[in-house]
A and B are shown apart, each in its own frame.
Chain A
Amino acid sequence: MNAPAKPNDYSAYPDAEGRFGGFGGRYVAETLMPLVLDLGKAYADAKADPEFQAQLKSYNTHYAGRPSPLYFAERLTEHFGGAKIYFKRDELNHTGSHKINNALGQILLAMRMGKTRIIAETGAGQHGVATATVCARFGLPCVVYMGATDVERQKPNVFRMNLLGAEVRPVSSGTGTLKDAMNEAMRDWVTNVHDTYYLIGTAAGPHPYPVMVRDFQSVIGAEAREQILEMEGRLPDAVVACIGGGSNAIGLFHPFLGDEGVRLIGVEAAGHGVSTDKHAASLTGGRPGVLHGNRTYLLQDDDGQIIDAHSISAGLDYPGIGPEHSFLHDIGRAEYVSTTDTEALEAFKLCSTLEGIIPALEPAHALARVGEIAQELGKGKIVVMNLCGRGDKDIFTVAEALGRKI
């Protein structure tokens, strides 16, 4: 038995200005600055309000279906022959991914602030679907910005958002992926400051978004921690999650930050390989800069222009990463590795055939590294991976990659 849980030593981050060490901050246009400051106050107020927390917990339980199970992936464990592999089953949430955790939290906050119109950006469409869902549930108009490339490769989610009553606006500037959608959402926000709430989907953007999204997603790690203690009587040796902007990973990691014996491993998307110019591994292949309101690791060229990311997974196709990950990377508390498109596809197939779970391409990136991690840790050890989304949305992309017509 390990020692009982230690208190979280990292609770001092971010500071009042939203900085995690040298990362984070609020780099937005002056027009947005008063709104961002207001949001910070409103969130601090809501966070401390037991009524708000009770309301959120109730919706998490009865609407999203939390807690999600912690599942022992027995056949994958046998297959790799190392540490026991557990899945945190966040793909079983309502809407099929972890994104609902954050969407519920933020829409309750938006209503508390008296906002009457919701905008969001989306990559894979999972955050767009989660946002459209909560907007339908609470009767608020919803506009989702989505890169034109992503609209094409994530058609089922576009249709889903439409069914939920949201307007999806394709963004064709840049490469038409997540970063361009985020630019356009910020342009909408700056134009409609009086009534609009920008519901950011990942733990990035100007303060307080990184901390707010982290807090709403920390339900993942908090549940997983409690569940593994109950099932195994001890903490895991490693927790693993995929990273685009990094919201599911920070949600899993954060409740374990103070548990020094628990390795935190984030998996970035290596696309065609991190040595090529087609990947989305900001920590592995980028350097610090400022984009979308925060200072963080970014893919950029010699002139400081942002380089377009590439990943088979639309949800990981982002040239930046949440600032807290940059911080955890630099201080060495978390480790960051990467998975190529090809490896992710292999893991996608393996999980489908061995566990009867079709994962989203995003967690398939995490799974591709879990086998090695389990083998490296060895028998008697425990690894927990966040299965943050289900793969229904990806079957067309995967079929195409495998040369099948459906």
Chain B
Amino acid sequence: MTKDRIDRRFAALKAENRAGFVTYVMAGDPDAATTLSVLKGLPAAGADLIELGFPFSDPMAEGPTIQRAAQRGLKSGMTLQGTLDLVAAFREGDQDTPIILMGYLNPVLNKGFETFAALAAKAGVDGLIIVDCPPEEADPLSDALEAEGIALIRLAAPTTDDARLPMVVRRTSGFVYYVSVAGVTGVKSADAADVAPAVERLRKASGLPVAVGFGIRTPDQAAAVAKVADAAVVGSALVDEIESAAQLNENVTEKVLLKASELAKAVRSARVGTK
């Protein structure tokens, strides 16, 4: 029943009156060993939840940064199975940090929903985000994941209207992921003023915590979102660090963890002095 790990984590964050910091990196970028060392270092760097991308050849919702990360992941030989292996290796040393896999439907469909769900639960995966699987198409996947206690995390977007909202939050658990900009990952910036009412609307409709992502790059942006949302997700800014460190032959793990801790600090201090 691994989605309990997500629920426990958000309950703890609420008790601390702070937002969670969610990091995204791509499995196999630039290689499996580096991803594992990054994963192992992220909780100490301040990540409250970890999103781990599994690469897909045609990532239609990603900006250039994560497109290139997927290409590097594939080039290093990363697969969906390889991603599950990374989670299993991470779990050997960490039983508390929730891990959410994020990617596209075809590799999961290719494995078979039941097979995937069973393997993911065994590896210690807590949730799954599938960008190209809207709620209308999600029931077979939900069936398989629910049987293994894995949360299918739903995405809501600025274009999601009130009529659609009940459909979007149906059969979801863990948290709801608010895509704060209409666009691909890592290009536009989220406007904190627009985020607050959207988060409120989603909380009300779902009764779940709301994480915000797709437009957060800097500590200031992360802090602004952390004031109003239950969690702030940063992906492209971390993946950029991985890319530049790898290109400059620097220590990738060190660089990305340093960036993560700067962002974590901003998220953690965002609500200090408020109640």
- Whether the Cβ atoms of A186 and B159 lie closer than 8 Å is no
How many Å lie between the Cα of A35 and that of B161 in the bound state? 11
- Contact A27-B67, Cβ < 8 Å, known A34-B160, A183-B60, A187-B61: no
Residues in B neighbouring A190, C-beta threshold 8 A: 60-61, 182-184
B132 contact from A28, A187, A302, A303, Cβ within 8 A:
A28
B58 at the interface (CB under 8 A from A): yes
Chain B contacts for A194, CB-based, 8 A: 182
Among B8-16, B33-41, B106-114, the stretch in contact with A: B106-114
**How long is the Cα–Cα vector from A193 to B60 in the complex, in angstroms?**
15
Residues of A within 8 A of B104 (CB): 290
Closest to B168 in A: A30
Are B80 and A33 in touch, CB under 8 angstroms?
Answer: no
Assess whether A303 is in contact with B182, with CB atoms less than 8 Å apart. no
Instruction: Tell which of B44-52, B91-99, B150-158, B227-235 binds the partner.
Output: B150-158
Interface size class, chain A: 35 or more
- B131: Cβ under 8 A from any A Cβ: yes
Asked if B188 is at the interface (CB within 8 A of a chain A CB), the reply is yes
Complex CA distance for A32 and B154, rounded to whole angstroms: 14
Nearest-neighbour CB distance to chain A for B170, whole angstroms, equals 13
B106-A187 in contact (CB<8A): no
A289 near B: Cβ within 8 Å? yes
Which residues of chain B (107-159) have a CB below 8 Å from chain A? Answer: 107-111, 131-134, 136-137, 154-159
Bound-state Cα–Cα, A28 to B136, Å: 10
Q: What residues of B have a CB within 8 angstroms of the CB of A187 in the complex?
A: 60-63, 184
Given contacts A34-B159, A35-B159, A183-B58, contact A27 B187 (CB under 8 A): no
Complex interface: chain B residues within 8 A of A174 (CB): 57-58
Which residues in B have their C-beta under 8 angstroms from that of A173? 67, 71
- Give the B interface residue count (CB, 8 A): 45
Q: Taking A29-B131, A290-B105, A290-B132 as contacts, is the C-beta distance between A306 and B58 under 8 angstroms?
A: yes
Complex alpha-carbon distance, A174 and B111, angstroms: 23
Judging by beta carbons under 8 Å apart, are A31 and B137 in contact?
Answer: no
Asked if residues B107 and A193 are in contact (CB atoms below 8 Å), the reply is no
Cβ-based interface call for B79 (8 A): yes
Report yes or no: A33 in contact with B106, Cβ–Cβ below 8 A: no
Residue A58 at the B interface, CB < 8 A? no
A residues less than 8 Å from B24 (CB atoms): none
A33 to B63 Cα, complex, angstroms: 19
**Chain A, interface SS category:** mixed
A318 to B155, CA, bound (A): 29
Question: Which residues 299-317 of A sit at the B interface, judged by CB distance below 8 A?
Answer: 300, 302-306
Within the assembled complex, what's the spacing in Å between the Cα atoms of A217 and B157? 34
Contacts of B55 in A (CB 8 A): 305
- Cβ of A25 within 8 Å of any chain B Cβ, yes or no, is yes
Q: Is A278 part of the contact surface with B, judged by Cβ < 8 Å?
A: no
Q: Are B79 and A30 in contact (CB under 8 A)?
A: no
Whether the pair A293, B158 counts as a contact (CB closer than 8 A) is no
The CA-CA distance from A28 to B61 in the complex, in Å, is 9
B107 pairs with A304, CB closer than 8 A:
yes
Asked if residues B106 and A304 are in contact (CB atoms below 8 Å), the reply is: yes
> Within 8 Å of chain B (Cβ to Cβ): is A191?
yes
Nearest-neighbour CB distance to chain B for A167, whole angstroms, equals: 19
Contact yes or no, B56 A305, CB < 8 A: yes
Q: For the complex, what is the distance from the CA of A83 to the CA of B133, rounded to whole Å?
A: 47
Interface assignment of A179: CB less than 8 Å from any CB of chain B: yes
Q: Which residue of B lies closest to A305 (CB)?
A: B57
CB atoms of B159 and A193 under 8 A apart: yes
Q: A370 near B: Cβ within 8 Å?
A: no
Compute how far the CA of A194 lies from the CA of B158 in the bound complex, rounded to whole angstroms.
11
Shortest Cβ distance from residue B201 to the other chain A in the assembled complex, whole angstroms? 14
Contacts of B109 in A (CB 8 A): 289-290, 304
The distance in angstroms between the C-alpha atoms of A305 and B59, with both chains bound, is 11
B158, A304: Cβ atoms closer than 8 Å: no
**Distance (Å) between the CB of A297 and the closest chain B CB?**
12
Q: Across the interface, which residues of B come within 8 angstroms of A298, CB to CB? A: 106
Does A291 lie at the interface of the complex (its beta carbon under 8 Å from any beta carbon of B)?
yes
CA distance A153 to B81 in the complex (A): 38
Which residues B215-263 have CB closer than 8 A to chain A? none
Please provide the chain A residues from 104 to 134 with a CB less than 8 Å away from any CB of chain B in the complex.
Answer: none
The distance from the CB of B204 to the nearest CB of chain A, in whole angstroms, is 18
Chain B residues near A291: list those with CB within 8 A.
58, 106
Q: Is the CB of A31 within 8 A of B157?
A: yes
Report the minimum CB–CB distance from B145 to chain A (whole Å): 17
Once the chains bind, are B110 and A33 in contact (CB under 8 Å)? no
Do residues B74 and A305 form an inter-chain contact, with CB atoms below 8 A? yes
Q: How far is the CA of A191 from the CA of B158 in the complex (A)?
A: 11
CB distance from B251 to the nearest CB of A (A): 28
State whether the Cβ of B179 lies closer than 8 Å to any Cβ in chain A.
yes
Q: Which residue of A lies closest to B107 (CB)?
A: A304
Encoded as 1 (CB less than 8 Å from any B CB) or 0, chain A from 351 to 377 comes to 000000000000000000000000000
Check if B134 sits within 8 Å of A26, measured CB to CB: yes
Q: Complex formed: what's the CA distance from A13 to B57 in Å? A: 30
A302-B74 Cα distance, complex, nearest whole Å: 13
**CB under 8 Å from chain B, chain A span 267-323:** 289-293, 298, 300, 302-306
Q: In the assembly, what is the distance between CA of A35 and CA of B136, in Å?
A: 14
Task: Report the nearest B residue to A33, measured CB to CB.
Answer: B134
Quote the shortest CB–CB distance from B181 to chain A (angstroms).
9
Tell whether A30 pairs with B110 under 8 Å between CB atoms, given A187-B61, A193-B182, A291-B58.
no
List the 7 shortest-distance A-B pairs measured between CB atoms, nearest first.
Answer: A304-B110, A304-B107, A31-B157, A191-B183, A303-B79, A305-B57, A30-B155
**14 further A-B pairs in the complex, CB-CB below 8 A; given A29-B155, A187-B60, A290-B132:** A17-B136, A29-B179, A30-B154, A31-B61, A190-B182, A190-B183, A191-B187, A289-B110, A291-B58, A298-B106, A303-B107, A304-B109, A305-B56, A305-B74
